Amino acid sequence: MSQTLIPTLVFIYCSLVVVLYLRIQRFFFTVFLLVSIFSLIIGVVLLRTFGMYELMQTIESTHTAFWASILGIPSSIWQNHLLIIETVTKEKIILDIGLECSSIFEMTIFSIIVGFCPLWKIEIKVAYIALGLLYIYIINILRILIIVGAVAHFGGEVLFIMHTVVARLFFFCMVMALYYAMLTRDTILFTRKKVRAH
């Protein structure tokens, strides 16, 4: 733990220095961009350092296996994050719920974008972030279930197309719907009010 914690703390300190300097110089977009990147890196490292990443993998695997069994898809969990699916031909396919499948990136980026949005007060931002994180978590479970269901019914040969194209497209569309509902629509309404006021 200490091997990654000390470099992470140094990285956080250096990141804060750079961001504060750019903020004072009024480079707002650069600050936003760097905070997004730094937060993502720091978030992933801290999640791994304190074992939260493994916990999140276990929770997502457990929820996916639970909903798969409700949908009648034979599945089980091995080593806390490996999802074993039984196909209609009794073939066993193992899916690793890894970093990309955990939706940590999307959750972090969403939180940063909402946190930086100047339209709302802090309590509205906190509520939007909480709702958004829950929504992203649910659609991520649905994304994994799409893959699991297809593999269970059609076999391992559909895994690549389902994971790379179909499920990813579903997830992308659902995340874009979230951004529109929470950010784009409110920004348009805010801009419209400002234009009418002038």
The total number of residues shown for the chain amounts to 198
pLDDT tens-place values along the chain, 198 residues long: 557 777 777 887 888 888 788 878 877 778 777 877 887 787 777 777 777 778 888 888 889 999 999 999 888 888 777 888 888 888 888 888 877 787 888 888 888 888 877 778 899 999 999 999 999 999 999 999 999 999 999 988 899 999 999 999 999 999 999 998 888 877 777 777 777 776
Put simply, whether the predicted model's pTM sits higher than 0.85 gets the answer no
d(CA 140, CA 138): 5
